[in-house]
Structure 1
Amino acid sequence: MDDVIIIGGSFAGLAAALQLGRARRKVTVLDTGLPRNRFAGHSHGMLGHDHKPPLDILTEARRQLARYPAISLVNARADSVSGTIDNFSVLTGDGESLGARRVILSYGITDQMPDVPGFAEGWGTSIVPCPYCDGFEVAGQHWGLVWSGPQSHNQVRLFHDWTDRLTVFADGHDIPPDIRADLAGRQVPLVDGRITGIAHHGSHGATIKRDTGLDVAVDILFAHPRNRPSASLHDSLGLATVNTPTGIALKTDERRETSVPGIYAAGDLANPGIPSVTTATWQGAMAGIFAQQSMLV
């Protein structure tokens, strides 16, 4: 039996494995090899790895974990989790049953692309969600923001640290008069109409097509589509969740433990705030440490 099974081997999962492996705890990481940021050419804001391709960072992390004999990296999907603390059972997609005293869920989330021609094709290049991840490289250029809800109003203020040239696309949303007045006072154009297509130019530029009016070209388009957990294990386990502006996140306490004793969570799956590689890595490390400390006698 393992001490810990980690489900999801991206930044959070591997960071948890590193802490557990260094504590000489036996750990198995199950991973399908589909990290959320695989569409991005570079990862930014992570100390020591700024502007490196995210898949390269993960490859190097796996290479470094190979020096710890207690860590086993397995390319497999987890189909189910059952049992209770100190006696969990994980069934893999290959039909193998694995046992562990603790479980860490770090299988991340999947962005749900809207049914707009060109959106999925530009995701991670000319269409991005996070200014902390990509804002510096396009600072001072013409940004576009697809309105997704009340949180978009705060993003207008946030984006000002990177650019003074911003166009907001209502995309069919009913923008209240007071927000319209605020945008006008900030000299931020608000373009009505629903987005019907997006054409891409080079690595960043995009032209937004609408069902009314002329097309609008921007240098980068920020959007926040709905997302969902990449697996449904939390549902079958009955784990508590919290609502976020774009979906749900697993609820954890200050020790990264979920509502079920012995099951921990980290990364985008359990982050209702600002998702990032740095945050995922920190949360994963802490989940590993707290899981290890919970097994002390």
Structure 2
Amino acid sequence: MADNKNFDIIIIGGSYSGLSSAMALGRSMRSVLIIDSGLPCNRQTPHSHNFITQDGQKPSIIAENAKAQVLKYNTVQFYDGLAISGVKTANGFTITTQTGEEFNAKKLIVATGVKDIMPDIQGFSECWGISVIHCPYCHGYEFRNQKTGIMANGERAFHLASLVNNLTDKITILTSGTAEFNTEQMAKLNKHNIQVIDQKIRVIEHKDGIIQNVILKDGSKISLDAMYASVAFQQHSDIPMNLGCELTEQGYIKVDNFQKTTIEGIFACGDSTSMMRSVANAVATGNFAGAMANATLTEKEF
């Protein structure tokens, strides 16, 4: 619970990027409130990888350690709850929570991440983040040399295949419709013995989130150990858009090289701003957003 209502900066989202922002600000003696509802997008993922010093660690443990370290800075407070709205004021911003509490800040940092939209495939959501995965760098090594599917089409599928081909020679692309590869791409896929199947997936058979087989629309079955999937997403919070922040064509919050959004006084970081969805990237952009937010306050005050 927050002890007061007025802060230098409010950070909406208290996962990796938000906590990283808070550390930079706490070390600059800024009064900070982190508001977090406790729903990180990787909550089903058993282990985090490709993050130096934390490789193989459980994501929740990384977040718990980060929170404990950040809250040692006595100017930083944490509020367990959901921020539901924000308004621009003469002095900055007011954020309202689901319980009706209001908090004020001179600047905002949006670190709310994105919400994945699960396709209507039985078993998909249960496997998401466990054996249905999104990133070869985050998860690919653990499924090296195993039977691997790629649920995507066109350029995205081809790009994933080129990366995954270095990890296994047992690749099947499932396009869920007419394959959208040009002649040159098909030649490369054939060269590497990558099968392309255009049928839709009906069911993913699994055991505790570990894929056993995928069943196609015609009832045929393909044995797989893992499957990469490109799923649709939406911003986890509509507060930045309601405050006027622009989105990119891909649906990410538009930021410049200093993590500034298109609205003065609002910064954004982490998965909500970038297709590079990893803990390492979230931490890096969060740290920078915190530093840049502090710099804007310093410029005004000094």
1:208 counterpart (196, 201, 214): 214
SS across alignment from 1:164:
coil
Determine if contact 2:42/2:129 at 8 Å carries over to the other structure: yes
Residues 117-175 of structure 1, C-alpha deviations (whole Å, 9 max, x = no match): 11111111121111111111111111110014422211111112211221111112442
Residues 226-264 of structure 1, C-alpha deviations (whole Å, 9 max, x = no match): 0111111122112111123xxx10010111000001100
Gaps of 5+ in 2: 1-5
CA distance in 1, matches of 2:38, 2:149: 31
Q: Which of structure 1's runs of 4+ aligned residues deviate more than 6 A?
A: none
CA distance in 2, matches of 1:170, 1:148: 5
2:114 maps to a residue whose letter is I
Determine if contact 1:12/1:267 at 8 Å carries over to the other structure: yes
TM-score w.r.t. length of structure 1? 0.94
1:128 maps to a residue whose letter is I
Determine if contact 1:42/1:54 at 8 Å carries over to the other structure: yes
CA distance in 2, matches of 1:96, 1:205: 44
Match of 1:254 in 2: 257
Specify whether residues 196 and 141 from structure 1 end up closer, same or farther in structure 2 by C-alpha distance, changes over 3 A only: same
1:231 counterpart (221, 237, 254): 237
Match of 2:226 in 1: 220
Task: Please list, as runs of the form range in 1=range in 2, the aligned pairs for 1:22-101 lying within 5 A after superposition.
Answer: 22-83=27-88, 86-101=91-106
Specify whether residues 176 and 137 from structure 1 end up closer, same or farther in structure 2 by C-alpha distance, changes over 3 A only: closer
Match of 1:267 in 2: 270
Match of 2:162 in 1: 157
Task: Please list, as runs of the form range in 1=range in 2, the aligned pairs for 1:70-219 lying within 5 A after superposition.
Answer: 70-83=75-88, 86-178=91-183, 179-201=185-207, 204-212=210-218, 214-219=220-225
CA distance in 2, matches of 1:116, 1:70: 46
1:19 maps to a residue whose letter is A
Residues 76-100 of structure 1, C-alpha deviations (whole Å, 9 max, x = no match): 1111111158421111111111110
Residues 171-224 of structure 1, C-alpha deviations (whole Å, 9 max, x = no match): 124424524343222210111211111101466333111113621011111111
Determine if contact 1:142/1:219 at 8 Å carries over to the other structure: yes
CA distance in 2, matches of 1:114, 1:231: 20
1:279 maps to a residue whose letter is N
SS across alignment from 2:46:
coil
Match of 1:4 in 2: 9
CA distance in 2, matches of 1:154, 1:133: 16
Specify whether residues 160 and 174 from structure 1 end up closer, same or farther in structure 2 by C-alpha distance, changes over 3 A only: closer
CA distance in 2, matches of 1:121, 1:172: 23
CA distance in 2, matches of 1:232, 1:9: 16
Mean Cα displacement is larger for which, 133-142 or 286-295? Answer: 133-142
Determine if contact 2:12/2:83 at 8 Å carries over to the other structure: yes
Residues 39-85 of structure 1, C-alpha deviations (whole Å, 9 max, x = no match): 10111111111111101111111111221110000001111111158
CA distance in 2, matches of 1:73, 1:231: 18
CA distance in 2, matches of 1:38, 1:202: 15
- Number of residues of Structure 1 aligned to a counterpart in Structure 2: 293
Gaps of 5+ in 1: none
2:59 maps to a residue whose letter is P
CA distance in 1, matches of 2:212, 2:233: 22
Specify whether residues 75 and 90 from structure 1 end up closer, same or farther in structure 2 by C-alpha distance, changes over 3 A only: same
**Identical pairs, percent:** 31
Kindly state the Cα deviation for residue 225 of structure 1 after the two structures are TM-superposed. Answer: 0.8
RMSD: 1.5
1:283 counterpart (269, 282, 285): 285
CA distance in 2, matches of 1:192, 1:149: 12
